[in-house]
Chains A and B, each alone.
Chain A
Amino acid sequence: MSLEIRSGEAVALLGKNGMGKTTLMKTAMGFLKPWRGAIEFDGHDLTRLTPHEIARLGIGFVPESRRIFPGLTVRENLELGLSAVRDRSTALRRRRFEDVFHHFPRLSERLDQPGKTLSGGEQQMLAIARVMMAGARLILMDEPTQGLAPAVIRLIRGMITELKRLGVAVLLVEQNARVALGVCDRGYIMEKGLIVFAASATELRESPVTREKLGV
């Protein structure tokens, strides 16, 4: 399979369960090692790097089921997002916190609460805010709208649009094709570890292949 993402672009990776979407993301992030092939980011071969080295290159991961640190406060969770940044000066920290609170004001009201006390939507906001703290240039999002209320889904869609405007590239894995194609520029459909269809979001929305492969 072969796919590419450019700066300021959101790309959807669609497919039914068990087709390899999450595996692809985990491989790109260094959690799994590929047997062969190459994954490049800004000229770096990611297959040779560990997850923390990949994160330090500017790739952020928002995993399925959020994986925030439940026993740590919202502030501590956000601070950990800065781990990928070399310069952790007070000025940068303040700027990143302000950016995050501008987009997710609700988090600023929960700063000293443990992550486990947040609602599902708030936990998802925290997971996205964490990679924003790192100033990631490419964000891999795995099912970010899963199980969330429509209002929170709208917020996350708005966030992805904003990330694109800031020049951040987003690779979005979604079961909900309608949500993904509503916010992404292009998309790929995966089936059994292969990409079987690639097109613009508009084409994917209208194509019979999408209906056939995804049943939507």
Chain B
Amino acid sequence: MIFGLLGVMNFAHGELYMLGAYAGIAVIGVTHSFWVALIAAPLLVAALGAVTEVATLRPLYRREPLYGLILTFGLALVFREGARQIWGGDMRRVLPPVTGSTPLLGMTYPNYRLFLLGASSALLLLIWLFFTRTRAGVLVRAAVQDAEMLDGLGVNVPRLFTLTFAGSAALAALAGLLLAPVFTVYPQMGVEMILLAFIVVILGGMGSMGGSVVAALVIGTAQSLFSLWMNPQRVAIAIFAIMIVVLIVRPRGFFGREGVLE
């Protein structure tokens, strides 16, 4: 959405995900509640996203896309090193707020992972409802199609850009904190996730939400199956190989529209 709207491939998205986890740890430290952190951390990172958009991205919209790419790459470094300065480079853990496990299809499945399954499905549904059923969602879709014309109809498009960027930052932060009890939290954690996220978006097809869901399922399943036979480094190579093959055979991904990348 950010790429379609702002014309910027946001390389700092992974760091917003990482900052969500750290902001969550900070809020949990004060409130001792994961659930409060789940609300507060995305809001804090959204505020940072809004300031970042206004201060750094806005002046670059009329320039070549390369400027945005270099800028977000730089922002990623700033956020990562900033996190290292504030919280140090040690790996941290967040205790899952839901404990225990449930027998499922002959296995024992952690309850927190089941919670994640439900939460991410609900989140996906909410995002879809937002884009199809709310005026704000229609405004974002219209801005992706023709932001200048939307401005000429009376919509404050610069403010819409800021709010959309802040919203995407909040979603990244939410993901960061939700996954913090599953993975460990460290300054580099966003790098690995953003690579997987880009693979999913490219495979699914730029601009296709359904495509991203299908691609995420394909990549997730492939990752799990490959890890039965390969070490983690080889799994990463295999995932990239899948992406390369799909891009050669079908450059627009599973469900992408032709010309979106252009």
Kindly identify which residue among A71, A72, A83 contacts B154, using a CB–CB cutoff of 8 Å. Answer: A83
The residue of chain B having its C-beta at the shortest distance from the C-beta of A67 within the complex is B149
Residues of A in contact with B, size category: 20 to 34
B1 on the interface (CB 8 Å rule)? Answer: no
Are A76 and B138 neighbours in the complex by a CB distance under 8 Å?
A: yes
Are A52 and B145 neighbours in the complex by a CB distance under 8 Å?
A: no
Are A71 and B145 neighbours in the complex by a CB distance under 8 Å?
A: yes
Taking CB atoms and an 8 Å cut-off, the chain B residues in 127-158 that contact chain A are 135, 138-139, 141-142, 145-146, 148-157
Give how many B residues have a beta carbon under 8 Å from the other chain's beta carbons: 17
The 0/1 profile, CB within 8 Å of A marked 1, for residues 83-96 of chain B is 00000000000000
Binds B, one of A33-41, A55-63, A180-188, A190-198: A55-63
Chain B contacts for A54, CB-based, 8 A: 152
Most buried by A among B138, B139, B145, B152: B152
Q: Give CA–CA (A67, B149) in the complex, Å.
A: 7
Q: Give CA–CA (A177, B208) in the complex, Å.
A: 45
Are A55 and B141 neighbours in the complex by a CB distance under 8 Å?
A: no
B58 to chain A, nearest CB (A): 13
Are A130 and B145 neighbours in the complex by a CB distance under 8 Å?
A: no
B150 to chain A, nearest CB (A): 7
The 0/1 profile, CB within 8 Å of A marked 1, for residues 189-222 of chain B is 0000000000000000000000000000000000
Point out residues on B near A: beta carbons under 8 Å: 135, 138-139, 141-142, 145-146, 148-157
Known: A55-B152, A72-B138. 6 other contacts (CB 8 A): A61-B152, A69-B141, A69-B145, A76-B138, A80-B150, A80-B155
